[in-house]
Structure 1
Amino acid sequence: MKVVIMGCGRVGAALATELDATGHDVVVIDHEPRAFGRLSENFTGRTVTGTGFDRDVLEGAGIRDAHAFAAVSSGDNSNIIAARVARETFGLDRVIARIYDAGRAEVYERLGIPTVATVPWATGRLVRFITAGSSPVLWRDQTDSVSLVAIDAPKEWVGSPVDALARAAGGRAVTLTRFGEGRIPNADTLVQAQDIVHLAVPSATVGELDEVLRRGPADV
């Protein structure tokens, strides 16, 4: 798939490098040419110098043929403007923005623009959001019996107890990340849209996880 990334800071460079290494067609935009030096020496994608919310720059980066757009520069305003241009002007559905202000992030999530905060899981969530369907496994024990997985809350489970989702997956809920903040779910915690749920599940069931959760709580 083709991915356009605005911003070549630490997160943008890490995201571009990981996507490029797994065979995706990656274009990185940054207004500072020296920023591209953060990319891996093995990076095979394309770089574009310019302002990432400028329509001509986005056109030059091939936004019309892109499957996803990530705005991960160091400025909240730039990221949101770019994300809105990508979605509203160029009609891209898979758009995500990095936001430093957690309060603003919540507002934009409710407006339908997924965001990531400046925390260690940012790159991981970006990759999962962009590639949608790649392996959710974050860790496996030495015997490969138990896996820790991170899943974006399935729409079928929004409003249902996190514990019920975990049981359907055959495991237990370990943590929940909501608007960039981690928490330990309890029996009363309900799944919300844009949550990231970390589950401990049998490794043998990981391949069927997406299909099982898509059935929703009615089939549990």
Structure 2
Amino acid sequence: MHVVIMGCGRLGSTLAQNLEARGHSVAVIDQNSDAFRRLGADFGGITVTGIGFDRDVMREAGIERADAFAAVSSGDNSNIISARLARETFGVTRVVARIYDARRAQVYERLGIPTVATIRWAADRMMRHLVPEGTIEVFRDPTSVVSIVEAPLHRDWVGRTLRSLEERTGARVAYLMRFGMGTLGTPSTVIQDGDQVFMLVTDETVAAVLDIASGSEKEGL
């Protein structure tokens, strides 16, 4: 596949190198030609000097045949303008933009442009290392909205189905660990003694989900 990357900073250059190493065709756009030095002497893709949301510049990078487009410059506005051009004008189906402002990221997500809010994500991860709160979090999406946490279960859940756990907590089971092996359960999967259950939650729901799973709210079990 052919991928166009707007921005040749640390993220853009790393993306370009990784994509090329996997055998993909890559074009990188940046206003500063010196930025292409980050790609290394062995980079075999296309480099285009210019403004990333200029249509002629995008065409020179092969946007009309691109399978994917990543906007990872240092400017939120430039990233979202170029991402929308790639999606709406050139019909690129896989488009993603890096956004520093988390509030803007939410707005652009509603426009159908997947975003990565790097500052919010990084700050959230740092906080969890600095001030651990006892929640075992194994994954958090780049927008820092959805996470997967281990939900320690009260013994009364043993013998009940994952469907009953999901209905009681209002959250979905992502997967469970059984005898040291990851398992994708079904609604009818019966919880066994020793199962580790991992659930999809948000910051707003995690406390209630863990309370119910641990049995501190036993009504309805």
Higher gyration radius (CA): 2
Which position in structure 1 is the counterpart of 2:140? 176
Which position in structure 1 is the counterpart of 2:130? none
| Alignment-mate amino acid for residue 62 of structure 2 | G
Which position in structure 1 is the counterpart of 2:77? 77
CA distance in 2, matches of 1:48, 1:202: 53
Matches within 5 A, 1:39-54: 39-54=39-54
SS at match of 1:86: helix
CA distance in 2, matches of 1:48, 1:118: 25
1:178 Cα deviation from its structure 2 partner: 5.6
CA distance in 1, matches of 2:4, 2:145: 27
CA contact (8 A) 2:138 2:150 kept: no
Residue 202 and residue 69 in structure 1: after superposition, are their counterparts in 2 closer, same or farther (change >3 A)? farther
Q: CA offsets per residue over residues 91-138 of structure 1, 9 Å max, x none? A: 11100000000111111112211011236989xxxxxxxxxxxxxxxx
Q: TM-score, normalised by structure 2?
A: 0.61
Which position in structure 1 is the counterpart of 2:64? 64
Which position in structure 2 is the counterpart of 1:87? 87
Which position in structure 1 is the counterpart of 2:149? 185
| Alignment-mate amino acid for residue 33 of structure 1 | S
Quote the RMSD (CA, aligned, Å). 3.4
SS at match of 1:11: helix
CA distance in 1, matches of 2:120, 2:72: 14
SS at match of 2:5: strand
Residue 173 and residue 101 in structure 1: after superposition, are their counterparts in 2 closer, same or farther (change >3 A)? closer
Residue 202 and residue 48 in structure 1: after superposition, are their counterparts in 2 closer, same or farther (change >3 A)? farther
SS at match of 1:4: strand
Which position in structure 2 is the counterpart of 1:112? 112
Q: TM-score, normalised by structure 1?
A: 0.61
1:60 Cα deviation from its structure 2 partner: 0.9
Question: Once the two structures are aligned, what percentage of the paired residues are identical?
Answer: 57
1:54 Cα deviation from its structure 2 partner: 0.5
Residue 182 and residue 37 in structure 1: after superposition, are their counterparts in 2 closer, same or farther (change >3 A)? farther
Q: What is the number of equivalent residue pairs in this alignment?
A: 158
